[in-house]
């Protein structure tokens, strides 16, 4: 019996269904995984002298850069071997990073968040603003476009020899 038939006999329909369900679940958040080179660049920047100096200046201490390295390793596993656990680890890390970045936004109680834009958001501009902007280049070009007086400029090409 060849190796390919042995592997085929080892794979049962139950296992393939479980794998496809897991893959389908991850397809939803797969967009969170960045290109692996980005994780490597972030780790390199975090551990560089300039990065460490910046961290010390901003936070008063250096920060732990190991998460960038873990994300890079897991990203490589996902890309090379389609390792679902590695992809889940990167996705969870990205979600945690996003929540950390948006924490102040969600905790903000100074401004009331709107559900819809104001009713008069598309009202005409005040008269003083229309008068101020009537002779600008942009206003003249917009008027020409509305009237259909767009002139085709000579399409010249610049060539350097």
- Provide the strand spans (E) within 13-117: none
pLDDT on residue 13: 45
Quick check: 110 pLDDT over 60? yes
Give the pLDDT confidence of 123-160 residue by residue, as tens digits.
Answer: 999 999 989 998 999 988 888 898 887 666 555 667 67
Residue 113 has a pLDDT of 86
Report how far residue 69's alpha carbon sits from residue 90's, in angstroms, rounded to the nearest whole number. 11
Q: How far is CA 41 from CA 25, 35, 66, 104, 111, in A?
A: 28, 10, 13, 26, 36
Sketch the domain layout of the chain as residue ranges.
20-107
The answer, yes or no, to whether residue 32 has pLDDT greater than 60, is: yes
Distance CA 10, CA 104 (A): 51
What does the mean pLDDT of the chain come to? 83
The pLDDT of residue 23 is 56
**What's residue 73's pLDDT?**
97
Q: Are 65 and 46 spatial neighbours (Cβ–Cβ below 8 Å)?
A: yes
Residue 149: per-residue pLDDT = 78
Q: Is the pTM of this model over 0.85?
A: no
């Amino acid at each position: 019996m060849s190796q390919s038939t042995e592997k085929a006999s080892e794979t049962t329909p139950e296992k393939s269904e479980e794998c496809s369900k897991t893959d389908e679940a991850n397809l939803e958040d797969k967009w969170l995984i960045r290109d692996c080179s980005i994780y490597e660049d972030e780790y390199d920047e975090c551990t560089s002298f300039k990065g460490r100096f910046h961290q010390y200046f901003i936070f008063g201490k250096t920060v732990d850069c190991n998460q960038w390295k873990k994300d890079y390793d897991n990203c490589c596993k996902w890309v090379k071997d389609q390792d679902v656990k590695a992809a889940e680890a990167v996705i969870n890390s990205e979600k945690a990073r996003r929540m950390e970045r948006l924490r102040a936004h969600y905790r903000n109680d100074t401004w009331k968040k709107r559900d819809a834009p104001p009713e008069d958001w598309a009202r005409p501009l005040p008269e003083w603003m229309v008068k101020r902007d009537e002779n600008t280049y942009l206003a003249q070009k917009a008027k020409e476009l509305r009237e259909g007086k767009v002139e085709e400029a000579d399409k010249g090409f610049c060539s350097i020899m």
